[in-house]
Amino acid sequence: MPPNRTTSINSSHSTLRAEPGDEAYTKAEGDHVETVHADAEKGHKRKSSTPESYYHNFAPIAELNLPDWRHTEKRLVRVLDMTLLPTLWILYLNNYLDRTNIAQARLNTIDEDLGLTGDDYNTAVAVLTVGYMLAQLPSNMLLTRVRPGIYLPVTAIVWSAVSAATAGTTSPQTLFVVRFFLGFLEAPLFPGAVYLMNCWYTRKEIALRTAILYSGLVLAQALSGILAAGIFSSLDGAAGLAGWQWLFIIEALMSTVCGLFAFFTLPDYPHSQTGSQRRFMDDDMRRLAEARLVADRVTGATGTGKIWTGLKLAVTDIKTWMFVFMNIFMTSSYGFNFFFPTLVSGLNIGSNITSLLLTSPPYFLGAITSFLVSWNSDRIKERGYHISGGLLAAAIGFVITIATSNVSARYAASFLYAPGSFSANALVYTWALSTLSTTPEKRAACGAIVNIFGHIGNVVSPYFFRDEEAPTYRLAFILMLVFGALAFAVAFITKIFLKLQNRKLRKRADETGEVYNPFTI
């Protein structure tokens, strides 16, 4: 028979109480919280169908006195799914197009036109990541103080101009400079987008939406080959510009248009009186948007308003560094990303245009796989095994690529390592943010730290691919296999660590009567 305890849930204005037995008490399941009934005599539990079962601290929502808060919430989420989410998705897709189109440019004449030799291409890839890493933390901390509905669209327009400037580079050195500033200006978007989504969506909603956002990255890879094939075949030499120059110009224009569109559709924060919420949400929706995030807050903690306090909380939490190393190893394991068109071209299946078109199918499968894996992870509230499963699929693809020179087998292997890598990587950031979200400032700092250090892999992995090992690049695949195994190990260790932490939380809850709020494992 469970111990007779009383659970109290405090808000700033009221206290909710629930007792085991015939009364309801609150239990967290992964990223969401549900109300559970405990029968002291029979020793079993059953789910509650009461409205309060949606949130462990229902008081902030109850205080709104909305006649039908669930209907209002459904309308709110629908508006977010039609404004916030698609806006961030299209910005991120273009962000990644502008970042990775240099991979397609290699199948045109950029190497010859700029005199790229040796490790010049590898450096052009790596230097963007250096700029990205330097800007990300200050940008994410700044985002807590400015209007995201203005800040993110402005950065999109500015990075578009820098990306277009790539068409005017004339040497490796000028390319390096442009790439550095492109990375610096692209840095705010992804962590800023995830942070803004976490400011609007609840924990039970965020994983799937983050997966949808991440699909923009994978679809950018899939579409980039098709776009490049069309541009190279129709515009190469037009107006005296090479195909790769048109590629940078056209895709930069696409980003500019999307940035302008975002000014109209992107909201600010729920408590703000500015942003698109003024146009698309009524007063009840705006009030509920703010209240439900307070109700959804597991710890009941509120932000101090101090950026440096959040940063200190982030860097002193061991879990932050577990996710940092997981992300470093993860990004190192998919270094093929900037070299995939070159890898497919090395199979000698057809012309460069054919090779560009053949880069798309593995990434389309990756987008579908990433979405389904994240959806199931969200459905059953599990992260570790889903990440490990993707890494295992990628490892099988790497082993096949290392073991054979058969063209069909090597291309088929890409349908394992591309979807496997992307489906695993899509969950790391979500897992980290749901675990490290005590206050808004800490959440922003943790998101930036995990993403910043994770990009160490993107600085190192381009140098896995040595020209003298073309076209098989076996050493590169061996190294990616090793780093994938390390990511697998860290994901497993993190799962075990959080499981042990949950046991401590359960024991403390049993002893003190606190609400049991476990980590997602």
Mean of pLDDT values over 279-292 = 88
Q: What is the pTM of this model?
A: 0.82
Task: Identify the three-state secondary structure at position 417.
Answer: helix
What would the two tokens of residue 476 be?
């590169």
Confidence class for position 24, pLDDT limits 50, 70, 90 = very low
User: What's residue 14's pLDDT?
Assistant: 35
Supply the pLDDT for residue 366. 92
419 versus 271: the higher-pLDDT residue is 419
With a cut of 90, say whether residue 33 has pLDDT above it. no
- Classify residue 118 as left (phi > 0), alpha (psi -120 to 50) or beta: left
Mean pLDDT confidence for 316-324:
94
Summarize pLDDT for 75-103 with one digit per residue, the tens. 999 999 999 999 999 999 999 999 999 99
pLDDT at 323 over 50: yes
Predicted pLDDT of residue 55: 66
For the record, the structure tokens of 421 come out as 């890598």
251 or 54, which is more confident? 251
Res. 170: pLDDT tops 60: yes
Residues 364 and 366: their CA atoms lie apart, in Å, by 5
How buried is 332 (Cβ within 10 angstroms: 0-12 exposed, 13-18 middle, 19+ buried)? buried
Look at residues 221, 94, 236, 87 and name the one whose alpha carbon lies nearest to residue 148: 87
Average pLDDT over residues 316-330: 95
Report the 10 Å Cβ neighbour count for 426.
29
| pLDDT bucket at 513, cuts 50 / 70 / 90 | confident
Cα 128 versus chain centre, distance: 19
Residue 334: what are its φ and ψ, rounded to 5°?
Answer: -120, 45
Q: Which of 331, 426, 450, 330 is nearest to 378 (CA)?
A: 426
Q: Which domains does the chain have, with CATH numbers?
A: 7-57 (no CATH), 70-281+293-505 (1.20.1250.20)
Q: Put residue 73 in one of left, alpha, beta given phi > 0 → left and psi -120 to 50 → alpha.
A: alpha
- CA–CA distance, 289 with 340 (Å, rounded to integer): 42
pLDDT(17) > 70: no
Give pLDDT, residue 70. Answer: 85
202-226 pLDDT, tens digit each: 877 887 888 889 889 989 999 999 9
Average pLDDT over residues 245-258: 98
- Average pLDDT of the chain to the nearest whole number: 85
What residues are paired with 7 via a beta bridge? 18
Q: Is the pLDDT of residue 362 over 60?
A: yes
With both helix axes pointing from N to C terminus, report the angle between 120-143 and 84-105 in degrees, rounded to the nearest 10.
160
